[in-house]
Amino acid sequence: MKIDYTLVRFENIFLQTRQATKLRGYFANRFPDEEIISNHSGDKFVYNYPKVQYKVIDGQPIICGICEGSSLISQIGFNTDEINIDGEKINVSQTKIIRKPLEFGICDNYVEYRFVTPWMALNQKNVGIYKKANDIEKEEILKRILIGNILSMSKGLGYNVDSTLHAWLDVEECHVKFKNIDMKAFKGRFKVNFLIPEYLGLGKAVSRGLGTVVRAGKNDLN
């Protein structure tokens, strides 16, 4: 299927990768009545695939909006002339906005992607199993988790995966600070027979910018 997609890139601003959370906080405070902006309903986190995601890629802040988040993010892009990060007002003088329908879903062959921010695949339930596994078992565990992440994303976007997903992984361990806790994550690349639009995320903390993927080679935003 095709999904409505908007990418907003603030090209004159430089932020640290960890400040993606601050970017999210700024817009959540600016639009407190828009639950889709913060992925919260009141004080409660909404456990659906986030339709608005905040990233800092190569120092540049990016917001992605998909489905019902696309129109809202497009408006934000056109109507933002400054942002406030940690009390510092930063003028926005150069904004790139891309809005277009993009293909999403099962395809006939492998598509290769790479993680441009760490993929936080493990949770409290499976991290112990992963640590005790040998290298072959670890690879199979991560493949199953990756496929599970794609299935969860598909469910959140209303897409029915009616064929088998096949995945190939080449990742290595890294660490990220998440809520001031040192967490195991992964960086590298993977192949899967599934079309994922640029800069969407997989795994935990997607709305905060983790697990962001781009296509290796062809960029579907060109």
Which band of pLDDT confidence, cut at 50, 70 and 90, is reported for residue 45?
low
CA distance 15 to 23: 9
Task: Say yes or no: 112 and 208 in one domain.
Answer: yes
How many other C-beta atoms can be found within 10 angstroms of the C-beta atom of residue 222? 6
Task: Say yes or no: 177 and 119 in one domain.
Answer: yes
Which band of pLDDT confidence, cut at 50, 70 and 90, is reported for residue 177?
confident
Rounded to an integer, the average pLDDT of 161-180 is 92
What pLDDT score was predicted for residue 64? 96
Number of domains in the chain: 2
CA distance 69 to 143: 29
Name which of 132, 146, 10, 32 is nearest 78 in CA terms. Answer: 10
Residue numbers of the domain that contains 209: 106-215
Q: Is the per-residue pLDDT at 42 higher than 60? A: no
Torsion of CA 16, 18, 22, 27, to 10 degrees: 90
Task: Say yes or no: 89 and 138 in one domain.
Answer: no
Task: Say yes or no: 171 and 210 in one domain.
Answer: yes
pLDDT: which is higher, 222 or 176: 176
What pLDDT score was predicted for residue 2? 96
CA distance 57 to 81: 20
- The domain boundary residue, chosen from 101, 134, 163: 101
What pLDDT score was predicted for residue 182? 85
What pLDDT score was predicted for residue 41? 58
Task: Say yes or no: 125 and 83 in one domain.
Answer: no
- The domain boundary residue, chosen from 83, 101, 119: 101
- The domain boundary residue, chosen from 62, 81, 101: 101
Rounded to an integer, the average pLDDT of 5-31 is 93
Q: Is the per-residue pLDDT at 34 higher than 60? A: yes
Domain CATH for 132: 3.30.70.1900
Express each pLDDT in 79-130 by its tens digit. 999 999 988 999 999 999 999 999 999 999 999 999 999 999 998 889 999 9
Task: Say yes or no: 184 and 199 in one domain.
Answer: yes
| Direct distance between the N- and C-terminal alpha carbons of the chain, in angstroms, rounded to an integer | 19
Task: Say yes or no: 119 and 146 in one domain.
Answer: yes
* pLDDT, averaged across the chain: 92
Task: Say yes or no: 93 and 141 in one domain.
Answer: no
Task: Say yes or no: 14 and 49 in one domain.
Answer: yes
Is residue 190 situated within a structural domain? yes
Rounded to an integer, the average pLDDT of 21-46 is 80
The percentage of residues in the chain with a pLDDT greater than 90, rounded to a whole number, is 80
What pLDDT score was predicted for residue 178? 77
Which band of pLDDT confidence, cut at 50, 70 and 90, is reported for residue 47?
low
Of these ranges, 39-43, 45-49, 146-150, the one predicted with the greatest mean pLDDT is 146-150
Which band of pLDDT confidence, cut at 50, 70 and 90, is reported for residue 38?
low
What pLDDT score was predicted for residue 24? 92
Task: Say yes or no: 23 and 59 in one domain.
Answer: yes
Task: Say yes or no: 121 and 75 in one domain.
Answer: no
Supply the pTM of this predicted model.
0.92
Task: Say yes or no: 17 and 88 in one domain.
Answer: yes
Is residue 20 situated within a structural domain? yes
Is residue 222 situated within a structural domain? no
What pLDDT score was predicted for residue 218? 67
